[in-house]
């Protein structure tokens, strides 16, 4: 796995590089600033598989650099890990909003780094296998993506969208007590299976992106996080103080979706039918991982009485 580590502290960068190599990650490049990192990326003969960025750097900080990297077509889905001593909630929120995948705290903890990079390495391997399958004989390299019913669907062009894996890492980074201030809500496209089976994987992906766009428009821009969980299910993360009644959110979301009706009718595609689950909060009385609210939000909207869903 080819890694680019960026930090303005040369002593830390040297130690960090040694730690990574000792853990078996041998292909390490380094840069001492955001500007220098962009030069290294531009000059690289082979694309990097992972970036590890310090947040606090002069001129261009790690969050700005993360945005720059995400703006490149080649790195829209590449794992980006923020590595910093800063634990302020504002920095954490800004890092994930900029497209960060994970967040590591300084000083260096070899056990934590090994665990986090091990997961990242598996993600990189899975993506590589998918690319090989796409380029295999008999596959049209220029064909549009076709998604299975339970596949993840990239929502890069949707404001506030975040990968489900990154959403879980965000909650882990917040920790139990800070995560008490957020809630998770599941949103389900009730007729998702019919849309997928009737229209195919490409149209299904576009419909899910339309739903995510409408969902983004319903939520406050500053704090929304939207992830797709597969099977027509989305998870929204937001401050508890900003959570509106789920049925009010559902009504607003359906109103936005109805604006697509003329286009969908012309294309003879079913309009998505929406159900919104209850808000799921962490409770201080229950000890456990903060990421469980994602699983509970998904389970709750799946289990919700279908009579609450409105058919198009």
Across the chain, which has 312 residues, the per-10-residue mean pLDDT values are 94 92 90 96 95 94 96 92 85 92 87 88 76 53 74 88 92 86 94 95 94 92 88 94 88 94 93 94 70 94 63 43
Identify whether 152 is part of a domain: no
Residues 123 and 176 in one domain: no
Residues 111 and 230 in one domain: no
pLDDT value of residue 265: 93
Identify whether 139 is part of a domain: no
pTM: 0.83
Per-position DSSP letters for 139-203, written without gaps between them: --TTSPP---TTS----TTSTTB--HHHHHHHHHHHHHHHGGGEEEEEEEETTHHHHHHHH-HHH
Residues 113 and 180 in one domain: no
Identify whether 119 is part of a domain: yes
Phi first, then psi, for residue 85 (nearest 5°) are -90, -5
Q: How is residue 107 annotated by DSSP?
A: S
Phi first, then psi, for residue 36 (nearest 5°) are -65, -35
Residues 49 and 117 in one domain: yes
> Domain containing 258: what range?
164-308
Identify whether 141 is part of a domain: no
Residues 7 and 107 in one domain: yes
pLDDT value of residue 101: 94
Residues 16 and 65 in one domain: yes
Q: Nearest-CA neighbor of 293 among 216, 179, 136?
A: 179
Whole-number Å distance between alpha carbons of 96 and 76: 14
Identify whether 138 is part of a domain: no
Contact 57, 33 (CB under 8 A): yes
Half-sphere CA count of 260, side-chain side, radius 13 A: 22
Residue 122, CA distances (Å) to 103, 117, 226, 235 in order: 17, 9, 23, 23
- Count CB atoms within 10 A of the CB of residue 5: 22
Whole-number Å distance between alpha carbons of 130 and 47: 16
pLDDT value of residue 311: 44
Phi first, then psi, for residue 247 (nearest 5°) are -70, -30
Residues 21 and 83 in one domain: yes
Residues 171 and 243 in one domain: yes
pLDDT value of residue 308: 46
Q: How many domains does the chain fold into?
A: 2
What CATH number is associated with residue 248? 3.30.70.270
Residues 189 and 67 in one domain: no
- Count CB atoms within 10 A of the CB of residue 105: 14
Q: Are strands 225-230 and 182-189 parallel, antiparallel or unpaired?
A: unpaired
pLDDT value of residue 141: 45
pLDDT value of residue 286: 57
Identify whether 149 is part of a domain: no
**Is residue 295 helix, strand or coil?**
helix
Q: Nearest-CA neighbor of 165 among 211, 207, 215, 102?
A: 102
Identify whether 181 is part of a domain: yes
pLDDT value of residue 310: 43
Residues 14 and 125 in one domain: yes
Identify whether 270 is part of a domain: yes
Contact 243, 185 (CB under 8 A): yes
What CATH number is associated with residue 12? 3.40.50.2300
Whole-number Å distance between alpha carbons of 124 and 227: 19
């Amino acid at each position: 796995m080819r890694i680019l580590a960026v930090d303005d502290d040369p002593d830390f960068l040297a130690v960090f590089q040694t730690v990574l190599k000792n853990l078996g990650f041998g292909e390490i490049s380094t840069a001492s600033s955001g500007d220098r990192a962009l030069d290294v990326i531009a000059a690289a003969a082979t694309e990097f598989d992972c970036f590890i960025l310090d947040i606090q750097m002069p001129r261009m900080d790690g969050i700005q650099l993360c945005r720059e990297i995400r703006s490149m077509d080649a790195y829209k889905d590449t794992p980006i890990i923020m590595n910093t001593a800063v634990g302020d909630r504002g920095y954490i929120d800004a890092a994930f909003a900029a497209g960060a995948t994970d967040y590591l705290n300084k000083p260096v903890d070899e056990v934590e780094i090994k665990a986090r990079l091990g997961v990242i390495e598996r993600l990189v391997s899975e993506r590589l296998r998918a690319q090989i399958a796409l380029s295999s004989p008999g596959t049209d390299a220029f064909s549009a993506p076709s998604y299975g019913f339970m596949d993840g669907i990239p929502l890069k062009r949707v404001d506030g969208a975040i990968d489900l894996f990154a959403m879980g890492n965000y909650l882990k980074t917040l920790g139990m007590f800070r995560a008490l201030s957020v809630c998770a809500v599941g949103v389900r496209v009730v007729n998702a299976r019919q849309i997928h089976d009737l229209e195919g994987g490409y149209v299904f992906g576009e419909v899910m992106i339309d739903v995510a766009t409408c969902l983004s428009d319903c939520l406050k821009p500053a704090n929304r996080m939207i992830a797709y969980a597969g099977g027509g299910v989305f998870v929204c993360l937001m401050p508890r103080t900003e959570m509106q009644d789920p049925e009010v959110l559902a009504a607003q979301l359906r109103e936005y979706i109805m604006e697509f009706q003329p286009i969908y009718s012309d294309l003879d595609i079913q309009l998505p039918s929406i159900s919104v689950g209850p808000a799921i909060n962490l409770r201080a009385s229950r000890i456990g991982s903060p990421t469980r609210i994602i699983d509970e939000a998904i389970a709750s909207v799946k289990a919700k009485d279908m009579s609450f869903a409105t058919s198009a």
